[in-house]
Amino acid sequence: MNLKDQYKVIEFPDFGDERGNLVVIEGEGIDIPFDIKRAFYIYGSDSTVVRGQHANKETEFLLVNVAGSSKVKVDNGKESTIIELNRPRMGLYLSNKLWKDMYDFSADSVLLVLASRHYDGKEYLRNYDEYIEYLKNEGLLNE
Ligand code: TYD
């Protein structure tokens, strides 16, 4: 699998008017490819913090910096890339089975995360070597 097929930057519609901005994210294939089962948000992190540092076997995510900015490094065991989230209308879709690091949070960063599944600690891979072994066992990475 090529990394460029495992993530997507999405620009959401803004129904803003003179009263302000209104950004909508519809699930189930309308704006993002999955049915939204969970939402969480991260704030109060700063430029010294690295979050994530895990891969999810099943869950797909959509990340939006609804305020401030942060960076996300995604890695599929073969390739990696860094995406900066810095606009409330910009979403980053991440497929499952990707290693993720979130870092360089601005002081005002509020990172909203929408997820395709409820939380289940068992589907997290929190050790990079274990992640690589998992990919090999799934036939997603050559020996
Ligand atoms: P963690 O995975 O370390 O967060 P991040 O991806 O931002 O680095 O999660 C921190 C704690 O919160 C951990 O004990 C698991 C718990 N948690 C839940 O209970 N439900 C959730 O949906 C999430 C994302 C985390």
Instruction: Please name which of 81, 74, 129, 71 lies closest in space to residue 102, comparing C-alpha atoms.
Output: 71
Catalytic residue among 36, 49, 51, 54: 54
Please check the confidence at residue 143 and state whether its pLDDT lies above 80: no
Q: Residue for token digits 């290693």? A: 99
Per the prediction, the chain carries an average pLDDT of 97
Q: Tens digit of pLDDT for each residue in 16-44?
A: 999 999 999 999 999 999 999 999 999 99
Distance CA 70, CA 57 (A): 24
Looking at the predicted structure, is the pLDDT value of residue 122 above 90? yes
Q: Whose Cα sits closest to atom 9 in ligand 1? A: 52
The SS3 of residue 76 is coil
pTM assigned to the model: 0.96
Q: Which residues line ligand 1 (CB under 6 A)?
A: 38, 40, 42, 51-52, 119
CB half-sphere exposure, 20, CA atoms < 13 A: 3
- Give the model's confidence band at 142: pLDDT under 50 very low, under 70 low, under 90 confident, else very high: confident
* Dihedral sign for Cα atoms in the order 96, 98, 99, 101: negative
Q: What is the per-residue pLDDT across 36-84, written as a single tens digit (0 to 9) for each? A: 999 999 999 999 999 999 999 999 999 999 999 999 999 999 999 999 9
